[in-house]
């Protein structure tokens, strides 16, 4: 049984993370390249975390009910957030707003402003030019959209590697012109011209900072560990692999064992490999380049990420 180095390095290629395991014959990258790689790791981890948040069934209970019970006013809330698309080019999502019109006449809603803040710094905002019609005596759901540039997202994040969670807030603002109806609250003498909505949904995203280490290689399996250094709990399921060794290819399903809330061990069966091919996995077996591609569903905290996570590493 042979033990390999316990260090790993991750770089990125498009939406996939590439892991390169250093060996005694390979020098570490330059400081500048390493810093760039570290920034990329944090960015893709943040994109994953953002996707986890936006793809979940997130609901906000903020409403204007306390005002609406005193006066005949609309009720509104942030009903949910839906992920539209995610890539290294941008994240598009829709904020679902539910508005109840208590009047027997339709109302118009325009001038919706949606903004997103990370660590109390506004990352993106969008003024929606569309006018929405609110049906009489019923609730209407509208879904204005906003897009985030990863460069702006990254620029707003401070000391990602030291964070255990990333505070994020989504804010929605709009005004609805009201019909000329006297307030039901007799103590209120003035009629209101507008219904104003200004609410935020806040959430602390668990950070995802993966660290890889190869544990053991023997005739039965290749075992390596994946740990989230932020300490946030995560789990992998349905892990598929594509293993290339000295020009030979092996595909299959890997076994995953949860070793702690923030760590898993992944085992790739090697029984079908010949002894000569297995030799290239060992340090004394030659200079062949070996690589493994993994694809898995991931759950970070209590939120499941709907798009498979793709990871590649070489050794």
* pLDDT at 47 (0 to 100): 62
* pLDDT at 191 (0 to 100): 55
Query: Tokens representing 97?
Result: 């707003």
* pLDDT at 40 (0 to 100): 56
Q: Which residue has the tokens 């340090």?
A: 283
Domains assigned to the chain: 2-27+208-314 (2.60.40), 65-206 (2.60.40.10)
pTM of model > 0.75: no
* pLDDT at 286 (0 to 100): 52
- Residue 306 CA, chain-centre distance (Å), reads 10
Contact 262, 233 (CB under 8 A): yes
Across the chain, which has 315 residues, the per-10-residue mean pLDDT values are 34 31 36 50 60 50 43 84 73 88 90 89 88 92 86 80 82 88 48 83 79 79 86 88 77 90 88 55 56 82 70 70
């Amino acid at each position: 049984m042979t033990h390999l180095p316990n260090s790993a390095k991750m770089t990125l290629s498009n939406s996939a993370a590439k892991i390169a395991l250093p060996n005694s014959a390979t020098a570490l990258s330059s400081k500048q390249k390493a810093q760039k790689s570290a920034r990329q790791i944090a960015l893709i981890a943040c994109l994953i975390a953002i996707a986890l948040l936006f793809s979940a069934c997130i609901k906000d209970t903020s409403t204007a009910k306390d005002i609406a019970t005193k006066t005949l006013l609309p009720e509104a809330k942030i009903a949910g957030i839906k992920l539209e698309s995610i890539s290294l080019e941008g994240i598009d999502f829709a904020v679902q707003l539910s508005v109840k019109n208590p009047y027997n006449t339709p109302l118009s809603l325009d001038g919706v402003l949606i903004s997103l803040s990370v660590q109390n710094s506004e990352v993106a905002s969008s003024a929606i030019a569309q006018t929405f019609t609110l049906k009489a005596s019923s609730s209407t759901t509208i879904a204005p959209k906003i897009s985030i540039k990863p460069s702006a997202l990254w620029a707003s994040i401070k000391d990602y590697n030291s964070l255990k969670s990333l505070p994020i807030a989504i804010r929605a603002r709009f005004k609805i012109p009201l019909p000329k109806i006297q307030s039901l609250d007799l103590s209120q003498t003035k009629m209101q011209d507008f219904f104003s909505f200004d609410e935020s949904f806040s959430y602390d995203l668990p950070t995802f900072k993966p660290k890889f280490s190869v544990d053991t290689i023997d005739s039965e399996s290749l075992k390596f560990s994946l740990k989230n250094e932020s300490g946030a709990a995560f789990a992998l399921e349905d892990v598929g692999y594509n293993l290339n060794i000295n020009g030979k290819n092996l595909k299959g399903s890997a076994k995953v064992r949860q070793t702690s809330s923030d760590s898993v061990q992944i085992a790739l069966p090697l029984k079908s490999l010949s002894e000569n091919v297995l030799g290239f996995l060992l340090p004394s077996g030659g200079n062949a380049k070996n690589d493994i591609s993994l694809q898995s569903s991931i759950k970070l905290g209590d939120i499941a990420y709907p798009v498979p996570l793709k990871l590649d590493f070489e050794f």
